[in-house]
Every structure is written in structure tokens, then in C-alpha cells.
Amino acid sequence: FIAAAILASVLGRASVGGARNQLMQAYALLCLTPALLWRELSRRSANRWVRPALELAVVAQLCLTLVSPVGRLIEPAPAQRYLPTAAMREAGERFIAHLSATPGDVLVLLHPYYALKAGKEPAAQIQALWHARWRGREPLPADLVSRIENREYAEIISDESPYFETEPALVALIEANYVPLRQLAPQDAPATLNGLLVRPQIIYVPRP
């Protein structure tokens, strides 16, 4: 079972769109292995050295969790790296103010929370839709296609992110009904700090 979990994790991570969280099931089961083995051995008569060795392995596992040598090798960024700066907060406020001032609904493809903060009707996140559609293999939802074809959105804002916002079907749908208006500057739309590092970039408006 553990081998199957490791295989599933590796295959998921290696596939298109696979993220590091694909490895969670392998990590979880590997972390549980000493405890499960300990429980199994406690039911049997084992060599007198087996139990102390297993106890030592559990202590070593705890130490590796607290002070990860792998983490030291990859030199992770300090925690402050993941805290938004004052400038980023101001950029976010400017972006929300822009959305609030836009008449009509807006579709912020990768960050629907911005639309909600601006008092607009939110939509499903395009990345979540991409995964729900078997990583873009199934058609776009009919209601989304209808809204874009009817040009119900006053603006569509794209991060131009790989896979999610640049898949051919979505690009063709948007370009058939919308045109780029302008590109947002970094001071007008903050970037994300972890995961997929992107920020709102292109504003599309309905074709005349």
C-alpha cells in the first residue's frame, strides 16, 4: 500500500499541472510507517534489538522533522518572504478599487476573490475548473461559455498563467469576444507570494 501511494504521488507530481502537494500521501504514509511497524512488532516476539532500534528511528524521524537537512540544502526563503509588503497591499487596494469602479460584472480568472471584495459577483477560479475538467481535457462549462459569448462581463482580467489561462479553447473563446484593453503595471495588481507566482496582467473588454 505504501509503495502504491509513493507511485501515485510520483506520477501525479510528474504529470502536467502536478504540484508538490501531490506528494502528501507518500509523505503521510512514510511518516506513519515507524508507528505502524512498532504496533505490529508489539504483537509479536521480536529480537531484543528490534524495539530499541525502532524507538531510535522514531526519535531520528522527529529530529529530521524539526531540523530538516533537505530544507537546509534547498535554502528556503525566510518567512518574511511570504508576507505582503505595504506596497503590495496598496496595489491590491488599487486593483479592488478599479474593479469596484467598473460598471457591470468582472471576471478575474485566477483570483475571483478580488471580484468578491469589489462587490461583484464572484466566479469559479479558472485553475479549479481546469483541474475539474481533467486538466483541460473536457469542454469548458456551458454557462461560462455562454456568459463570455454574450459578453456579459464588462472586463475579463487574466494573469496569462500557464495551462489555466492559456489553454487554446479558453484563449479562442476570449479572443473571439473580447479585445485586450491594457496591461496592468505591478503597482496596480500585486503578485502572489507562493505556489504559482503570477499577478493580474491583461484587461480584456468586449469587442465593439
What pLDDT shows up at residue 69?
A: 62
User: Tens digit of pLDDT for each residue in 22-53?
Assistant: 777 877 877 787 777 777 777 766 567 777 77
Distance CA 74, CA 72 (A): 6
* pTM of the predicted model as reported, rounded to 2 decimal places: 0.71
3-state per-residue secondary structure call for the chain:
CHHHHHHHHHHHHHCCCCCHHHHHHHHHHHHHHHHHHHHHHHCCCCCCCHHHHHHHHHHHHHHHHHCCHHHHHHCCCCHHHHCCCHHHHHHHHHHHHHHHHCCCEEEECCCHHHHHHCCCCCCCCHHHHHHHCCCCCCCCCHHHHHHHHCCCEEEEEECCCCCCCCCHHHHHHHHHHEEEEEECCHHHCCCCCCCCCCCCCEEEEECC
Closest CA relative to residue 184, chosen from 79, 135, 111: 111
User: Tens digit of pLDDT for each residue in 104-119?
Assistant: 999 999 999 999 999 9
Residue whose C-alpha cell is 506520477: 11
126 burial level (CB within 10 Å; 0-12, 13-18, 19+): buried
User: With the CA atoms of 169, 172, 173 and 175 taken in that order, what torsion angle do they form, in degrees rounded to the nearest 10?
Assistant: 150
Residue of 11 and 166 predicted with greater confidence: 166
